[in-house]
Structure 1
Amino acid sequence: MEMSKNYKTVHTHRFIQLLSTHRELIFSILGGLLVVAAYISESSHIGFLSAVLYIAAYMIGGYYKAKEGIQDLIYDRSLNVEILMIIAAIGAASIGYWQEGAILIFIFSLSGALETYSLQKSEKDLSKLVELAPVEAHLLNDDESITTVPVNQLNIGDRILIRNGERTPADGKVLNGVTAIDESAITGESLPVDKQRGDDVFNGTINGSGSIVVEVTKKNEDSLFQKMIQLVEDAKNNRPPSQQLIEKIEGPYVITVLAVVALMLVIPPFAFSWNFDETFYRAMVLLVVASPCAVVASIMPALLSAISNGARNGVLLKGGHDLEQLSKMKTIAFDKTGTITKGQPEVTDVYTVKQDDEEVLKHLIAIEQQSSHPLAQAIVDYGKSHDLKTDHKVTSIEDIPGHGVKAIIDQDTWYVGNQRLLDSQSVQIPEHFHKQRGMLQDEGKTIIYTVKNNVLIGMLAVKDQIRPEAKQLIETLNNRGVKTIIITGDNEKTATAISHEAGLTEWISECLPEQKVHEIEKLKDKYGSVTMVGDGVNDAPAMAKSDIGIAMGNGTDVAIETSDMVLMNSELEKISQSFKLSTRLNRIIKQNLIFSIAVIILLIAANFSQNLTLPIGVVGHEGSTILVILNGLRLLKE
């Protein structure tokens, strides 16, 4: 019995929620039914009843649009298309055209309800992210007992238990257990991803096949999922310049239409002795057909549909402006490591002055174990693969940004770094190293120099492999006529080799992190607009300076926060898809604007030639509004 009551309560709540969500559409349909009832009673010569029904159709069908127009007039002191419709409907009724006015109210309210519905539909893929956010976590205490706590109370270093089928409540690393996690909410990838000890997991993803213990690495507000939600909120509230322009001219346009209507009411009856009723009727038709409803609805439904499409496919945008402008970009600059390349460099060649490779490598491993830099990790991994173990103690280590590191081992001073490091320390390169170095650099390999007590004793070659999808993306962009440029700290020869291998049209070499911003400025001066793609902290200022910044989803938080677009699964091919989506978006917006303006001009001309009735004007005008909305919604499924 209790279960039956709960069942009824749940379904009653859902029914009420459904009515609340679609109440504007329900009011519009009810208004339409009242128009039909009024027409039937009028045909049956029940005058009083038909008048009551028409009034009810006006009040119920036009409630939401009238409310919207009056609120804008009172609070924002702005005139909009709703005011035109209210005046036109009341004007039609005042000269006895109750039926025409009621039809106007019905179709206008129906198109408005459909627009609201379409916006809700297009925002669905975005808004549901917020609903996916977990609210509680199972915290493992020191005595291995479990406490359920709100996710906001989790701290870095806490251990949490995630059971089969539960959502991951925080970003972290797996400590114990093996599972497969559905990361589609984050990356758009539908297949579960296998996870084991040491692997990263993300807030909002669904644990699949087994229980795991995870160490929290980020607080809730700093998690990737929460950043996604913020991006979503920004995207929903950010209107592109084209929409802002339409909204800006809407008020003056409405005033102009009202002024023309006022002149129509005064001049023809007195100057040309026109019949006032006919003149008034034509003025009301003009109010309807000159309304820019379809123009106003030409952009936002299409834009939100495109943003929703991108979100489903793992591309998040902070606003419509960026997607609208993306296909117009003529230059795109790439960071190298982790963007064009895999970001996992490998040691390919080792040379030492005394041919004592093993001893030099042991010192290098001791030094690079202190660093998290990808090149340092490559050296450490190389040592592990060759079973090299070191017992050298590093007594001090100092990072030299853009150059390398300085370390003290057994009172000897060691430097490990690039050519700029040698230049800064005035270290000479032995003659027999020059030829070998040139050959390695021609192959696109990065050279790491080892200096002991200001003498060069070793040289390593490191190669970061180019991502296969990077070549495909660059080829696609080149075919679109987009300039593709790499910005890298590598020397000229290495940058040249990588650019040729990847198919890039230009390259900027030996660029320190702080110089990237200046290079973006130069590119903007040269080409007009620039998109920057990167994943690291040092890319963030350049992305902020560019017209559109695109961050890799596995990149740093700073890069993600600074960017305008995020590739959640770090798949470069999504950039190509985003260019296509942007092209389709701009094409549909252009179609909508041309069609809606053409319909307005045609209807106005027909009205002045006295070949247009109010019902046909209503159908033609509001029908065009519905068509542009439906045309924009095509982007949801493409």
Structure 2
Amino acid sequence: MDCASCVAKVTKAVERLPGVSAVEVNLMAERLTLHLDAPGQPEAIEAQVAALGYATKRLDGAMPTPPAGAAPAASDYDHEHERADHHGPAAGAAGPPAGHGHSHADHEDPADAAKPWWATGKAKLVWLLGALVLGAYALSLVLPERLTYPLFLAATAVALVPFGRRAIALARAGSPFSIETLMVTAAIGAAVIGAAEEAAVVVLLFAVGELLENVAAGRAREGIRALANLMPRVALRLRPDGTTEQVAPERLAVGDLVLVRPGDRVPCDGVIEEGNTALDESPVTGESVPVARGPGDAVMAGAINADGALRVRVTRAAADNTIARIIRMVEEATASRAPTQRFIERFSAWWTPGAMIVALIVILVPPFALGWDWWTSIYRGLAVLLIACPCALVISVPAAMASGLSAGARRGLLVKGGAALEAIGAARTVAFDKTGTLTEGSPKVTDVIAAEGRGVEQTIALAAAVEQGSSHPLAKAVLAEAASRAIAVPAATAQSAIPGRAMTGTVDGVAVSVGSPRHAREANAALGALEAVLDRLEGEGKTVAVVLADGAVAGLVALRDEPRPDAVAGVAAITALGVRPVMLTGDNRRTGEAIAISLGLDAKAELLPDDKLREIGKLRERGTVVMVGDGINDAPALAAANVGVAMGSGTDVALEAADATVLKDRVTGVAELIGLSRATMANVRQNVAVAVGLKGVFLVTTLAGITGLWPAILADTGATVLVTLNALRLLAWRPAR
């Protein structure tokens, strides 16, 4: 399928059939999904679509993810290779959502699917027409017109057979004012009034325009195909006896153990059980720096193992791994229309019949009002008809959106649709959750202050001894600090927890507790000179644990969930774009304000999920709001904002509720999303200006008699080419540094 016009034609034709509802046509995936009210109807659907020139292939149930290297079908002029997906009672159910584990890359004949653009049916039609037109023109230089004129008529007839057949089928299916109808009417009219030479050039240029649209659609799909190619062809599954077997990644099941050798691509989403390495995740997330991964760390499909051998336990089936989900999101996103696109489509629906009325007026009125002869008025009326072809205008928005979505996906910026992509760039406010979004998501020890007569390492050792075995985040942070300093942690006995207060235990006969300052005060422990230090640390937004040994203060351990390394740069980049960043957090006010001040943004703290919703509502009164979060408690706010953005490391709930995802898990990715949106919408405005501007110029020159039929179709074909090439520029988009 070539453009949004193809989508509209198929949708309208199928919607007219009885018992059909919920029709969705996905341009990028070349897939039709719908709901049927009774069995036995799929044949009627297929017949209706075939009448439009599109062959179909029924897909019963979920399809596997395509193998690496698979290529999409190359459509010829009558869309011989098109496919449609019908899910209804005949297949047992309404079917899975569009894109469920399936890509457009499957094809019955791999040799045909691998055809280069210049060998497709559409290209062959162009070569044939070009040869006829050029041959007739060459002969016209040496032969009389009565001998060469039939050659131009033959070239016109060759093209009008497929185009005319399609125009008639579209008229029967509810689209009487299609682009094909305009072109066929103008070409036949030109031939009738003796302008067969120009009629031949008109159909040739129209065929060239369709070929270029087909090439552009293929280029736009390359981003999705490149994602599918990230999956390796084979995976090494470990048998219970320690040997390996080669299997397709699609055959891996949750719980399988996989060997990933140095240099291999990770074939699944999973968790490392054994081995340490540096993973190159740039193909998936766009993050250029390899990241260290070891036992217990999660890995994603498509990442490249740089050095050490890994044993990875599969946690997601192939149809639900990172690559499959990205492909699904991008395919579904390209099917989602932006408000601007919906407006253009509504406008073009009135444009074409209106243009035919104007063309009729140009034919009928000037001979009486301006004294034109009938040949001139008919000729110029037909030219107006060709200028009215809305193809360039219709493709101007979806071409830019598809390119923008693909460019973002290549760089770890997933947007679920054109509406979200359009809205992000219009944001007035970006609201951030704190924990796991602006910060790392887990506390770390920032300061260790020993009491007089005690050492720092002794203080950490006592605290770590008591915290051993606890799953509390603060306990894990203390144990991690002891490990990083290579401190030997002594054994503790009689460990117990005082809920909300402290952990206690006995270390080498000494009663030790690690708890809040309130617990220390209740135990009548004198902080002395450490009182001022405690106030300072808490003023910096840090959580302070007081370590007591036999009732006396041994030291202070300060912890804080530290900002991400790029948080300051990310917030600054958003501010530089003229967007106001704010932080909405459930954390205490002192911690929230301390983090906010260090990052340079406003903060509202101690917010419950309901409070966040209210704040989002207030912000929306001032303009478009983008909410960024990563946790389950962020899901309501993500859904309530104009656009919800999830960080890639977030929960599945947040990822599903969000309209966009920053896979590289960096705050700077939010500014990149805004930049991508603005670049895409600028491209859309350029495309609309080119499409309308060229038509306006040629309309004036046509009515003035300066230009004729073939420049008129060139106005549409030329505009389509320019719009398409301009949209393809977005594929090379890179974030501003």
TM range, normalised to the smaller chain? 0.7 to 0.9
- The answer on whether the counterparts of 1:383 and 1:389 sit within 8 Å (CA) in structure 2 is no
CA separation of 1:222/1:446 partners in 2, compared to 1, >3 Å: closer, same or farther? farther
Say which of 604, 607, 613 aligns to 1:517: 613
CA separation of 1:141/1:500 partners in 2, compared to 1, >3 Å: closer, same or farther? same
After superposition, the C-alpha distances for 1:443-484 in whole angstroms (9 at most, x for unaligned) are 122357999xxxxx9986322222342211212222222111
1:593 equivalent in structure 2: 688
Deviation of the 1:148 alpha carbon: 4.1
- The answer on whether the counterparts of 2:466 and 2:492 sit within 8 Å (CA) in structure 1 is no
1:586-625 matches, cutoff 5 A: 586-625=681-720
After superposition, the C-alpha distances for 1:514-555 in whole angstroms (9 at most, x for unaligned) are 533333223223x22211112222222221221122222222
After superposition, the C-alpha distances for 1:372-394 in whole angstroms (9 at most, x for unaligned) are x4x45324424555544554577
2:323 equivalent in structure 1: 225
Task: Name the aligned partner's letter for residue 659 of structure 2.
Answer: D
TM (norm. structure 2) is 0.72
Q: Are positions 1:467 and 2:571 aligned together?
A: no
Q: Are positions 1:381 and 2:480 aligned together?
A: yes
- The answer on whether the counterparts of 1:232 and 1:318 sit within 8 Å (CA) in structure 2 is yes
- The answer on whether the counterparts of 2:516 and 2:544 sit within 8 Å (CA) in structure 1 is yes
Q: Secondary structure at the match of 1:519?
A: helix
1:636 equivalent in structure 2: 731
Rounded Cα–Cα distance in structure 2 between residues aligned with 1:209 and 1:12: 35
After superposition, the C-alpha distances for 1:339-387 in whole angstroms (9 at most, x for unaligned) are 222334223457999x9978984686257x234x4x4532442455554
Deviation of the 1:284 alpha carbon: 0.2
Q: Secondary structure at the match of 1:297?
A: helix
Give the total of aligned pairs: 606
Rounded Cα–Cα distance in structure 2 between residues aligned with 1:508 and 1:196: 37
Task: Name the aligned partner's letter for residue 473 of structure 1.
Answer: G
CA separation of 1:502/1:358 partners in 2, compared to 1, >3 Å: closer, same or farther? closer
1:365 equivalent in structure 2: 467
Deviation of the 1:97 alpha carbon: 0.7
Give structure 2 stretches of 5+ with no counterpart: 1-108, 507-512, 549-553
Which of 17-26 and 603-612 deviates more? Answer: 17-26
Deviation of the 1:244 alpha carbon: 1.9
CA separation of 1:430/1:56 partners in 2, compared to 1, >3 Å: closer, same or farther? farther
- The answer on whether the counterparts of 1:361 and 1:383 sit within 8 Å (CA) in structure 2 is no
Q: Secondary structure at the match of 1:587?
A: helix
Deviation of the 1:255 alpha carbon: 0.9
Q: Secondary structure at the match of 1:298?
A: helix
Q: Are positions 1:538 and 2:640 aligned together?
A: no
CA separation of 1:479/1:190 partners in 2, compared to 1, >3 Å: closer, same or farther? closer
Deviation of the 1:285 alpha carbon: 1.0
Q: Percent same amino acid among aligned pairs?
A: 32
Rounded Cα–Cα distance in structure 1 between residues aligned with 2:514 and 2:340: 53
- The answer on whether the counterparts of 1:179 and 1:209 sit within 8 Å (CA) in structure 2 is yes
CA separation of 1:65/1:306 partners in 2, compared to 1, >3 Å: closer, same or farther? farther
Q: Secondary structure at the match of 1:79?
A: coil
After superposition, the C-alpha distances for 1:400-431 in whole angstroms (9 at most, x for unaligned) are xxxx7999999xxxx99999xx99xxx99999
CA separation of 1:241/1:57 partners in 2, compared to 1, >3 Å: closer, same or farther? farther
CA separation of 1:494/1:190 partners in 2, compared to 1, >3 Å: closer, same or farther? closer
1:508 equivalent in structure 2: 604
Task: Name the aligned partner's letter for residue 477 of structure 2.
Answer: A
1:3 equivalent in structure 2: none
Say which of 247, 264, 267 aligns to 1:169: 267
Deviation of the 1:485 alpha carbon: 0.4
Q: Are positions 1:85 and 2:183 aligned together?
A: yes
After superposition, the C-alpha distances for 1:497-519 in whole angstroms (9 at most, x for unaligned) are 21111011x21101234533333
CA separation of 1:14/1:256 partners in 2, compared to 1, >3 Å: closer, same or farther? closer
After superposition, the C-alpha distances for 1:137-163 in whole angstroms (9 at most, x for unaligned) are 332222224344454553433211234
1:253 equivalent in structure 2: 351
Deviation of the 1:276 alpha carbon: 1.9
1:190-339 matches, cutoff 5 A: 193=291, 195-209=293-307, 211-269=309-367, 274-339=372-437
Q: Are positions 1:559 and 2:559 aligned together?
A: no
Rounded Cα–Cα distance in structure 2 between residues aligned with 1:554 and 1:519: 24
Task: Name the aligned partner's letter for residue 638 of structure 2.
Answer: M
- The answer on whether the counterparts of 1:450 and 1:459 sit within 8 Å (CA) in structure 2 is yes
2:542 equivalent in structure 1: 445
After superposition, the C-alpha distances for 1:577-606 in whole angstroms (9 at most, x for unaligned) are 332232222222212222322222222222
CA separation of 1:314/1:34 partners in 2, compared to 1, >3 Å: closer, same or farther? same
CA separation of 1:379/1:194 partners in 2, compared to 1, >3 Å: closer, same or farther? closer
- The answer on whether the counterparts of 2:400 and 2:680 sit within 8 Å (CA) in structure 1 is yes
CA separation of 1:19/1:395 partners in 2, compared to 1, >3 Å: closer, same or farther? same
- The answer on whether the counterparts of 1:366 and 1:393 sit within 8 Å (CA) in structure 2 is no
Give the root-mean-square deviation of aligned CA atoms. 4.0
Rounded Cα–Cα distance in structure 1 between residues aligned with 2:118 and 2:369: 52
Which of 146-155 and 513-522 deviates more? Answer: 146-155
Say which of 286, 290, 299 aligns to 1:188: 286
Task: Name the aligned partner's letter for residue 534 of structure 1.
Answer: G
Q: Secondary structure at the match of 1:17?
A: coil
Rounded Cα–Cα distance in structure 2 between residues aligned with 1:442 and 1:192: 36
Say which of 130, 140, 143 aligns to 2:228: 130
Say which of 578, 584, 590 aligns to 1:481: 578
Task: Name the aligned partner's letter for residue 539 of structure 1.
Answer: D
Task: Name the aligned partner's letter for residue 370 of structure 1.
Answer: S
Say which of 471, 476, 499 aligns to 2:596: 499
Task: Name the aligned partner's letter for residue 584 of structure 2.
Answer: I
Which of 202-211 and 237-246 deviates more? Answer: 202-211
CA separation of 1:83/1:325 partners in 2, compared to 1, >3 Å: closer, same or farther? same
CA separation of 1:165/1:360 partners in 2, compared to 1, >3 Å: closer, same or farther? closer
Q: Secondary structure at the match of 1:507?
A: strand
Rounded Cα–Cα distance in structure 2 between residues aligned with 1:406 and 1:226: 46
TM (norm. structure 1) is 0.82
Q: Secondary structure at the match of 2:566?
A: helix
Rounded Cα–Cα distance in structure 2 between residues aligned with 1:12 and 1:311: 26
- The answer on whether the counterparts of 2:153 and 2:191 sit within 8 Å (CA) in structure 1 is no
1:141 equivalent in structure 2: 239
- The answer on whether the counterparts of 1:170 and 1:202 sit within 8 Å (CA) in structure 2 is yes
Higher relative contact order (CA 8 A, sep 6+): 1
Rounded Cα–Cα distance in structure 2 between residues aligned with 1:164 and 1:136: 15
Deviation of the 1:45 alpha carbon: 3.4
Task: Name the aligned partner's letter for residue 630 of structure 1.
Answer: L
